[in-house]
Amino acid sequence: MTTQRVGFRDCANDGYATVTAERRSVRLTITGRVQGVFFRAWTVDAAAARGLDGWVRNRRDGAVEALIAGPADAVGTMVAACWRGPESAAVRDVAAVPADDPGPTGFHYAPTA
């Protein structure tokens, strides 16, 4: 399996995401009114529906953080969906940075960081 770097417009830093074959992996930091509005539950459902791997958790600073990995197109649509989130959320920003692919883990909640 080969690893390559490809451009990904939603990524901060160097503008690249990690891609292994057809997989892409990014870590998202989502800010705004994103805690107490079922953002994590929405993320688990939305990611699982897209067949993605990774996790989502609250952060003590009020943000939500997620590691999302899977088919490049599904990751892209998930990142775009995070800009909207659940109906009661008010997303201010979605910062995406390259991340290591966690492999086939399914999508789950992670402890608050």
Contact indicator for 23, 72 with CB cutoff of 8 Å: yes
37-65: pLDDT as tens digits: 999 999 999 999 999 999 999 999 999 99
pTM score, whole prediction: 0.80
Residue 21 pLDDT grade (very low, low, confident, very high; cuts 50, 70, 90): low
Integer Cα distance of 25 and 66 in angstroms? 10
Catalytic position from the list 23, 24, 27, 40? 40
Integer Cα distance of 66 and 56 in angstroms? 4
Region 6-30: what's the mean pLDDT? 64
Contact indicator for 26, 72 with CB cutoff of 8 Å: no
> What's the first-to-final CA gap in the chain, in angstroms?
32
Region 16-24: what's the mean pLDDT? 64
Mean pLDDT of the chain: 87
109: CB partners within 8 A, 6+ apart? 40, 44, 55, 56, 57
% residues pLDDT > 90 (the chain): 81
Catalytic position from the list 50, 58, 59, 84? 58
- Is the pLDDT at 1 greater than 70? The verdict is no
Which pLDDT value is given to residue 9? 43
- Is the pLDDT at 29 greater than 50? The verdict is yes
Integer Cα distance of 42 and 19 in angstroms? 25
Integer Cα distance of 86 and 40 in angstroms? 9
Region 81-104: what's the mean pLDDT? 96
Answer yes or no: 40 catalytic. Answer: yes
